[in-house]
A and B are shown apart, each in its own frame.
Chain A
Amino acid sequence: MRRLTTLLFAISLFASSCGSGLSSMKPTGSVIENTYFSNPETDYVYRTSIEIYGHDLGGILIIKKTSQGTHRLVLTTDFGNKLIDATMTNGVLTVNSIVEEFDRKLLIRTLEKDFSVILRDSFPIYSSDATDVQHFSIIGDESYEIIKGLHGIEKIVRSKRKPKAEYTFKAENDIFAHEIHIRHFDLKLEMDLKSLKPTEK
């Protein structure tokens, strides 16, 4: 039965995105909340491995909610040198400082897109499957397939006509994801985030 519901849900998504287009769909008025980065008292610190076009890079990613709708993001090397220091406000990334090697428009745009998804506090629901596990959301010209797990969001697939990237979360509670994996379908870019453990005041 579950398989059939999922299949019907997939068909409805396919039909809606190919047929009348995203603009014809209407929000249900409900939202899916993402509370993984919601506590302003918590330093979210992740050991980060980045694989980009065959090159490996390790470092430490630090995320902190500084006010409603705003997060500070800093990626450092293991030795502590900052590679990127940026502020994300309502999906817009402002770079405070960046090393020369990282100062590429495509890379900054990709990070902006990825972290606007991960740090977004809610997604408007356009449709859900019967089991309330699989949901469909639209923001701007992009669609999001969202799978809910036992503790908050488990997976998000971001698409723009075709799938662009996939974000997978592993969490032991709904306020903290201890592992996050980002995989791109149109770029050779993967990011693996593993928590060093959250620290609070």
Chain B
Amino acid sequence: MNRYFLFFIFIFFGSFAQDRKMDATEIKAFREAVNAKSAAIKSMTTDFTQYKHMDFLSKDVETSGKMAFKEPNTLLWEYKKPYNYSIVFKNGKISINDEGKKSQMDASGSKIFAKINKLIVGSVSGNLFDDKEFTISYFTNANFNFARLIPKDAALKKYIKEIELSFSKKEATVEQVRLLESDADYTKIVFKNKVLNAKVDDAAFRN
């Protein structure tokens, strides 16, 4: 085979996968776009699919469900397949419905829960660009703009090595989140059918 042809193929496909670091101007424009979009989000509903990847598995463990968020801090995260499990963060309280078995806990005194809540809401809305909490680097490729966040907090660092938020280039909203525990293990969450600022009834957050 013509080696120029092979070279061309390599360059062509290589360019798709190539991640490029943003320069200072691009970072500023990207952050402004995401922050403006995020500030305008009063409510959100979306479907999600979660993939747990571990290097020793034949296939990622796949679960899916829906998420609803309402300002300022009310969140429903509900798994519907292959089992029913939902968790609601509301007024400093966490309520869990595990296949009909209900429990509640007070999260207002727990710093780590406050951080997790902020992390989930921030991951979905994109409002996570807090340089005090994370060391952030910004990239772009053919499909997404994305940010890699490395936690500074020692407690959070124990659970998450890095968070990767991928944003739609068109909308400046989060399309997928990757939570890396190590180089080989991560959880990827892909959002679909996102609806912004539609009326979300309070009943949606009853667990």
Residues of A within 8 A of B (CB): 41-43, 45, 47, 49, 56, 58, 60, 62, 64, 66, 72, 74, 76, 78-82, 99-100, 194, 196-197, 199-201
Check if A60 sits within 8 Å of B58, measured CB to CB: no
Nearest CB of chain A from residue B61's CB, rounded to whole Å: 5
Q: Kindly state the interface size class of chain B when it binds its partner.
A: 20 to 34
Partner of B57, one of A43, A80, A82: A43
The A contact surface, by secondary structure, is: strand
A-B residue pairs in contact (CB < 8 Å), sample of 29: A43-B58, A43-B61, A45-B61, A47-B83, A49-B98, A58-B96, A58-B98, A60-B52, A60-B63, A62-B52, A62-B54, A62-B57, A74-B54, A78-B79, A78-B85, A78-B87, A80-B50, A80-B52, A80-B187, A81-B179, A81-B181, A81-B187, A82-B181, A82-B185, A99-B158, A99-B159, A194-B83, A199-B61, A201-B58
Expressed in whole angstroms, the Cα–Cα distance for A45 and B79 within the complex equals 16
Given A199-B57, A199-B61, A200-B59; 13 other pairs, CB 8 A cutoff: A43-B58, A45-B61, A47-B83, A49-B98, A78-B63, A79-B187, A81-B179, A81-B181, A81-B187, A82-B181, A196-B83, A201-B58, A201-B59
Residues of B within 8 A of A (CB): 50, 52, 54, 56-59, 61, 63, 77, 79, 82-83, 85, 87, 96, 98, 101, 103, 158-160, 179, 181, 185, 187
Nearest CB of chain B from residue A172's CB, rounded to whole Å: 17
Check if A64 sits within 8 Å of B57, measured CB to CB: yes
Chain B contacts for A42, CB-based, 8 A? 58
Check if A72 sits within 8 Å of B52, measured CB to CB: no
Expressed in whole angstroms, the Cα–Cα distance for A41 and B50 within the complex equals 22
Chain B contacts for A100, CB-based, 8 A? 158
Chain B contacts for A74, CB-based, 8 A? 54
Check if A60 sits within 8 Å of B85, measured CB to CB: no
Chain B contacts for A200, CB-based, 8 A? 58-59
Chain B contacts for A79, CB-based, 8 A? 50, 77, 187
Nearest CB of chain A from residue B47's CB, rounded to whole Å: 16
Chain A contacts for B101, CB-based, 8 A? 49, 56
Across the A-B interface, give the 4 residue pairs with the lowest CB-CB distance, nearest first: A80-B187, A199-B59, A201-B58, A80-B52
Check if A41 sits within 8 Å of B58, measured CB to CB: yes
Q: Which partner residue on chain B sits nearest A83 by CB separation?
A: B159
Chain A contacts for B61, CB-based, 8 A? 43, 45, 60, 62, 196, 199
Expressed in whole angstroms, the Cα–Cα distance for A86 and B96 within the complex equals 27
Chain A contacts for B158, CB-based, 8 A? 99-100
Check if B58 sits within 8 Å of A56, measured CB to CB: no
Chain A contacts for B98, CB-based, 8 A? 49, 56, 58
